Amino acid sequence: MALSATLERLASPWERLAQRNPLVGFVDTLLRGCGQVMFQNNPLTGLLFLVGIFVNSALLGLAGLIGLLASTLTALLLRADRSMVRAGLFGFNGILVGIGLAFFLRWDALLVVYIVLAAILSAVVMMALVNLMGSRDMPALTAPFVLTAWLFLFAVFLFSYVHPSVLIQPGLPNPRAAVLTDLRPLPTNLTGAGLTALNLTEAFFRGIGEVFFQDNLATGIIFFIAILVNSHGFNAVLSAIAVGGIFYVLTWESALYALICALISTVVMASISVLLSPLGMPALTAPFVLSAWLFILPKDGFHILHPVALAEVTNPEQIRRTFLEREHPSAGTGDKVQSAS
Amino acid sequence: MALSATLERLASPWERLAQRNPLVGFVDTLLRGCGQVMFQNNPLTGLLFLVGIFVNSALLGLAGLIGLLASTLTALLLRADRSMVRAGLFGFNGILVGIGLAFFLRWDALLVVYIVLAAILSAVVMMALVNLMGSRDMPALTAPFVLTAWLFLFAVFLFSYVHPSVLIQPGLPNPRAAVLTDLRPLPTNLTGAGLTALNLTEAFFRGIGEVFFQDNLATGIIFFIAILVNSHGFNAVLSAIAVGGIFYVLTWESALYALICALISTVVMASISVLLSPLGMPALTAPFVLSAWLFILPKDGFHILHPVALAEVTNPEQIRRTFLEREHPSAGTGDKVQSAS
Amino acid sequence: MALSATLERLASPWERLAQRNPLVGFVDTLLRGCGQVMFQNNPLTGLLFLVGIFVNSALLGLAGLIGLLASTLTALLLRADRSMVRAGLFGFNGILVGIGLAFFLRWDALLVVYIVLAAILSAVVMMALVNLMGSRDMPALTAPFVLTAWLFLFAVFLFSYVHPSVLIQPGLPNPRAAVLTDLRPLPTNLTGAGLTALNLTEAFFRGIGEVFFQDNLATGIIFFIAILVNSHGFNAVLSAIAVGGIFYVLTWESALYALICALISTVVMASISVLLSPLGMPALTAPFVLSAWLFILPKDGFHILHPVALAEVTNPEQIRRTFLEREHPSAGTGDKVQSAS
């Protein structure tokens, strides 16, 4: 918890500056956009993510930055709700679109135009989904990124001025082989890459642990790059975090519910990968989006769980603290949270 | 009608026992889950269905029972609405998932784990759809079964611990051949298996007849097994029943509307089969779900039809009787229904 | 504007006749159905469209007429809302279904039965979508045509009594070739057929120009035929019209927004074509429907745009005039519109 406290102390003067100076405010908006990829409405987390991507690959970082700028500017120019833009809700799909397209397509002058157009679309799709799902208090998650990136990736087969990279390999699934590596070579040095029960459990608990201690720099970057290489582990961890602590209050019942959601997300991952295999296309974060939606939609129907209203989503500790204070108004807060984590 | 009256007399003491004894209540819940596959909220019908499946194949019966137990327990543990659970609304998707996976996958120790996980998901999807569609008073039908079974069947191509049975054969459709048996060998001894107008009509009127006389043991079992082997006839009959007597009051106009829905469902069946043929996957009851949804959604828009509120859905005779009593409060009931059927 | 004024003068006595004489009223309904394909609730525009199709091909014209009659009669017999039927809202999907099936399937006695059944379904799907999307004030566009035609086209692979024409050619996409003509031979004499930036821009501005001057006979027919041959240009123009002047008030901001929507629709076109290429199926107007929906859904969220309520949709000039009168009640109308266009 020490690191978390230090980060909070650093953030405070920055926030005051961001409110007074429009340029700092814009940079703050961009950084929060990076942080929102992991549900973190926090400029410092966002900065560390961005640095992490640039360290890994300057080209991918540049592509992400272009997408981030294009989607955020689109939302600003179309005069979207100011507080939504400021929370980075339009930026995070843009940065993902930029990195995703740059990863799966060959680098090229026209790719920049392609990324800008896709990032603009991601902001429109974000607003479309907010209007479509807002009345049910359902989150859009990374659905704008998935939908936009798929549209722009599928299309390259018909366009002569953008080219797929070697990662896109169409082919029919082979039902008798049933070996994971038939579809796409998997890196063996990443957490949660293989589809074994051990890896899945490890990935799940590391994910939970990270959210508890907010110490998610290194792993955040790994997750981030993991999206682009292979999303098995990423989708499971993201699903578990979303269901287990963000959109439901963290209790042992919601933790179990989240574990099942994480397991299901690996099945959804395999299923979507098979569906896309004739085109050789990646599943991106679609397994996370679909699994999390299915497990968040029943929120008012399963009375053992405590759903969190979208407007009250912060982070798992804060959500649990608020919930406990409402349930037991007289109890002390700090110790409760400690013992819970 | 004599059989129907006998069944009702048998059911009465059971219902009183089920309300007093929790264990009998749980068995009653499970049996109603079986019955709901054919819209029958009736434990005896459910028992006969279950016996029918076991007579055909003990392994399929066992798989169905595991799915039924897992989905019903999931709903109970997550504290879903008690009256929904008691009506068997979570069980019927679970039993279908169990039988569906056992039919299309090779029997195996890990298959049981796979069925349990899928049945749990089917209960979550059921609640998700109830929350999504409840505000429009639209029924979820067997959509949770279709979605869950597809996810778990597609995924087997990537998993090395579950294996498809010989029924799953990926391949490209052949546009010039246009012969039904190119995609999947069809049994010739089942009602409605071939796609001829004669078979379709026969299947349709047999379906209507069964609902009128509630004498659906033998055919119910045939339908049930038919889901797993080939769903042409089953989807048409189920669509006709749903549209013609359950979600609209049975009149000659709704009967005609239902006949068209049944015809459309065979086109939808062919269409979905073609879409899935590259993966060699079965259409399951998706044609029924899609056709019935399309024909139920316009309910308040076509003023010649009389839609039935979800809360008032019982069985076609009861629905029609209630409707006639409301329209003509002074008329005698019994004869009216007789003349109608 | 002279042609537009002449047309209006011709229409007035016809409208009085159509209200008094039921047969003329029915013919008027059918003609408005033709006009609605291009958002024109106008019998004369509809007549010109119909003549245009017959001039091109008597068989296609006949197929369209059968579809138009079947879908309109279905809506009348099911007692759909009278004003919706009279505005041609059920006819336009029927005529598109008729032409679409006749174009992609071989002419045949049973094709007529197939078209009638499909046109009936298109009326049901239209009402289903109206009920589904009406509460959000979202238009169904040509989605009933796309959904119905896809269902009936996919199905032909499994039916032995209807046959695909040579235009349907299944095959795997070739990621390395990336040449447009790999998927389907494109006519070179149509506006917007090739996917170059020049053609796209030309098609876009011609589309905008036509709506401004309502002089859309010749191009309307070309567009109409273009749907069936190749929809690249058509989808872009239709998207631009819908977003730029029909569902948002025409301003320079909405024009720019519409231009981006038109660009996106070409990406969506390529993407859907690739998705359908294993079955050799056409994208129809799905790219228009998807792009327009994505850009109309955010309507209340982007405050720089002025959304138009469905009940107030007429034509771009009328919509803009009404909007300007509300904003500046004292200003003269005629000159304003002229300077705007």
How many Å lie between the alpha carbon of B295 and the closest alpha carbon of chain C?
7
List the chains bordering chain C where 3 or more Cβ pairs fall under 8 Å. A, B
List of chain C residues whose C-beta atoms are within 8 Å of the C-beta of residue B286: none
DSSP for A185-250, please give it.
PPPSSSTT-S--HHHHHHHHHHHHHHHHHT--HHHHHHHHHHHHH--HHHHHHHHHHIIIIISB--
Which residue of A lies nearest to C253 if distances are taken between CA atoms? A78
CB contact under 8 A, B130 and A263: no
Lowest mean pLDDT across A105-119, C252-266, C324-338:
C324-338
> pLDDT tens per residue, chain A (341 residues)?
456 566 666 667 888 888 888 899 999 999 999 888 777 788 887 887 788 778 778 888 899 999 999 999 999 999 999 999 999 999 999 999 998 899 888 888 789 999 999 999 999 999 999 999 988 889 999 999 999 999 999 988 777 667 777 666 665 544 333 333 222 333 333 333 333 333 434 444 444 333 323 334 444 444 544 444 444 767 887 888 889 888 999 999 999 999 999 899 989 988 998 888 878 888 888 999 999 999 999 988 999 999 999 888 887 888 889 899 988 876 544 444 344 33
How many Å lie between the alpha carbon of A14 and the closest alpha carbon of chain C?
29
* Residue A259 three-state SS: helix
Q: Is the pLDDT of residue C75 over 70?
A: yes
| Residue ranges of chain A whose CB lies within 8 Å of a chain B CB | 136, 172-175, 178-180, 183, 195, 257, 260, 263-264, 267-268, 270-275, 277-278, 293-295, 297-305
Per-residue HEC secondary structure of B137-154 comes to: CCCCCCHHHHHHHHHHHH
Residue B248 sits at φ, ψ, to 5 deg, of: -130, 150
Which residue of C lies nearest to B277 if distances are taken between CA atoms? C279
Integer CA distances (angstroms), C51 to B218, C39, C86, C221, C234, in order: 57, 18, 21, 9, 19
User: What is the predicted pLDDT for the residue at C191?
Assistant: 33
How many Å lie between the alpha carbon of A291 and the closest alpha carbon of chain B?
10
List the chains bordering chain B where 3 or more Cβ pairs fall under 8 Å. A, C
Q: Name residues of chain B where pLDDT drops below 50.
A: 1, 173-222, 224-231, 332-341
Mean pLDDT value of segment C217-224: 47
List of chain C residues whose C-beta atoms are within 8 Å of the C-beta of residue A119: none
Residue A172: HSE in the Cβ half-sphere, 13 Å Cα cutoff: 16
Task: Show Cβ contacts of residue B196 under 8 Å, excluding neighbours closer than 6 positions.
Answer: none
Q: Which residue out of C83, C84, C104, C157 would a mutagenesis test of the B interface target, given it has the greatest number of B Cβ atoms within 10 Å?
A: C157
pTM: 0.81
pLDDT classification of C157: cutoffs 50, 70, 90: confident
CB contact under 8 A, B298 and C152: no
Contact A32, A44 (CB under 8 A): no
ipTM of this complex: 0.79
pLDDT in tens, B209-246: 333 233 344 444 445 444 444 447 678 878 888 898 88
CB contact under 8 A, C151 and B300: no
Beta bridge partners of C307: C248
Which residue of C lies nearest to A122 if distances are taken between CA atoms? C294
User: What is the predicted pLDDT for the residue at A229?
Assistant: 42
CB contact under 8 A, C270 and A155: yes
Q: H-helix or E-strand containing C16?
A: helix C2-20
List of chain C residues whose C-beta atoms are within 8 Å of the C-beta of residue A83: none
Rounded distance between C-alpha atoms, residue C203 and residue C206, angstroms: 5
Mean pLDDT value of segment C61-83: 95
Rounded distance between C-alpha atoms, residue A117 and residue A94, angstroms: 10
pLDDT in tens, C160-215: 667 777 666 665 544 333 333 222 333 333 333 333 333 433 444 444 333 323 33
CB environment B18-52: b (16+ within 10 A), e (fewer): beeeeebebbbbbbbbbbbbbbbbbbbbbbbbbeb
Task: Show Cβ contacts of residue B293 under 8 Å, excluding neighbours closer than 6 positions.
Answer: B138, B141, C128
* Residue in C79, C154, C159 closest to B304 by CB: C79
Spell out the domains of chain B, with CATH numbers in brackets: 1-165+205-232 (1.10.3430.10), 238-341 (no CATH)
CB contact under 8 A, B157 and A172: no
* Residue in C183, C275, C297 closest to A131 by CB: C297
CB contact under 8 A, C301 and A130: yes
List of chain C residues whose C-beta atoms are within 8 Å of the C-beta of residue A156: 175, 178, 270
How many Å lie between the alpha carbon of B300 and the closest alpha carbon of chain C?
8
CB contact under 8 A, B157 and A274: yes
Q: H-helix or E-strand containing C263?
A: helix C252-276
CB contact under 8 A, B175 and C280: yes
CB contact under 8 A, B179 and C160: yes
List of chain C residues whose C-beta atoms are within 8 Å of the C-beta of residue A124: 294-295, 298
